[in-house]
Amino acid sequence: MKALLVDLGELTHPNLATALRAHGHTVEVVGSITEAVWVCHETRPAVTLACVDCSGAVESRLAERLRASGAWSPLIVIAQESRTEDVVACLDAGADDYVTRPARLVEVCARVRALGRRDHAPRAPVLEAGDVRCDLATGEVTRSGRPVDLSAQQQAVLVELLRRPGHVLSRAELLDSAWDPATDPGSNVVDQAVAALRRRIDTPYGRDDIETVRGRGYRWKVG
């Protein structure tokens, strides 16, 4: 099976990649959350493994980003050190397993096989704000019960806005969540996508729920 190895620490883990390959798995290695989300959508790995030096917010953020984007590759987190509260937060955010090193490579490979055997049908939540509904499993977006046709980037921006209503999201945050990591951060693709999203989700319904916060970014209006 195909495994994605996400190295989110200062240490590299070539032994793990080697062990997975020795057990017949194809392994791709990336070094950021953005790359991990991108690969999960492009190649749909059977299992994703995230390596961190110490437990904390980064692995929970990875789990949240994967699940919010609709990616349901089983996620195993491997940490050099862990705190109970961090493990619980990560599992609650969407991770499937959490392993603290030193862990035997043969055991990690067995966990990979076990998760790979499960039926991981989409189980993403539905995001709702007023009469807007976004089903992360099917990709269907509706407003007032009517389907809204969005591009992949427009929907990714909408998902981020709906996940944190009232919260200002910078252009950099939106770019990080919705575009290829190679996208030029100086481009205006975010502004173009937001303008197009407004024309589809707001304007036809006489709404202005997507707000521009001058000098800071965008947010989904609350109330």
What CATH number does the domain containing 92 carry? 3.40.50.2300
Rounded to whole angstroms, how far apart are CA atoms 164 and 207? 19
Residues 97 and 130 reside in one and the same domain = no
| Residue at which a domain ends, from 76, 99, 117 | 117
Residue 149 CA: distances (Å) to CA of 110, 134, 143, 144, 152: 42, 11, 11, 14, 10
- In this prediction, residue 9 has a pLDDT band, given cuts at 50, 70 and 90, of confident
For residue 52, the enclosing domain spans: 2-117
Residues 85 and 21 reside in one and the same domain = yes
Rounded to whole angstroms, how far apart are CA atoms 173 and 56? 20
- Tens of pLDDT, residues 153-189: 888 889 889 888 888 988 888 887 767 656 665 678 8
Length, in residues, of the chain? 223
Residue 201 CA: distances (Å) to CA of 30, 82, 133, 145, 214: 34, 43, 11, 12, 21
Mean pLDDT score of the chain = 85
Residues 11 and 99 reside in one and the same domain = yes
- Tens of pLDDT, residues 97-152: 999 887 788 888 888 888 877 655 444 578 889 999 998 767 789 999 999 999 88
| Residue at which a domain ends, from 117, 150, 177 | 117
Residues 178 and 208 reside in one and the same domain = yes
Taking Cα atoms as reference points, which of 95, 99, 118 lies closest to residue 108? Answer: 99
Q: What is the number of domains present in the chain?
A: 2
The four Cα atoms 166, 172, 175, 177 give a dihedral, to 10 degrees, of -60
Residue 45 CA: distances (Å) to CA of 2, 91, 95, 115: 5, 19, 15, 12
Angle subtended at Cα 165 by Cα 211 and Cα 151, rounded to the nearest 5 degrees: 70
Angle subtended at Cα 206 by Cα 202 and Cα 209, rounded to the nearest 5 degrees: 45
